[in-house]
Structure 1
Amino acid sequence: MRIGEFAKRTGASERSLRYYEEQGLLNPTRTPSGYRVYAESDVDVVRHVRMLLDAGLNTAFIREVLPCMVDTGDGLAPGCPELLPHLTRERDRMTMAIDGLATARTLLDEVIAATPPDNAAYEEWVARQAG
């Protein structure tokens, strides 16, 4: 099927499909005139790619793990045991990023809480700080 029909079937934009191809996640065949032709099996590939993107993985990592992922019917699971440490490491990286964002949010909450509620109070506060 051509890219327009394939985009409708997968729910992915044509731009996304071209990007997935550029990243080595899809490999459609080409007609002699250069049109992309997608196989029926590519529908599942796009579905899997989108699941892994939604899980926060980048396309380079997805390109590495996609061949070993198995569709369980309820989601994806590593079909190769050696993937587990890589997935765990990626989850740990995400956890560190989440913790960093939580700390930043707490600091921002403190800044917001310390901000006077209106302009007059703010000007009074600035005057007191200036001494």
Structure 2
Amino acid sequence: MRDDFDYTGLISQLEDHMKNPRFYGLLDNYNAKATCLHPDGKGKVVLTMQIEDDKTVRCGFEIKGCPSLLAQASLYLDSAFNATLSETYILAGNILKQIKDDDSKESRCSMLFLTAYKECVEAYYEKEKEERITTLTF
């Protein structure tokens, strides 16, 4: 961790998203859906999105896993409404590249959600009618 960064605001945001997750629950009407599974069977992210004009209009998710995964998914999706779909897709890919060699539990949880997010966006762009299901390998 950087010594010169004030983590107070970030920690407060994460706690808020953990206690009051946004977008929890799957959408009935969506045009993209993806599921990402942890190889040990202990983690799972299901993400549904309604996308229009390169923007996320609505989204919903369900998870099986650690509380940090819940907070991360809620926080990322909350911030996705302020950016284009392509911007958030690129950001997810960049984060995945940065943490791909990190073997920590936290990084694996991040990989789980971010992979589901990328798969959901790709499913939308490729006009897939079926749910995408991906299992991570570490």
Q: What TM-score results when the alignment is normalised by the length of structure 2?
A: 0.26
More strand by share: 2
Larger RCO, structure (CA 8 Å, separation 6 or more): 2
Q: What TM-score results when the alignment is normalised by the length of structure 1?
A: 0.27
Bigger CA radius of gyration: 1
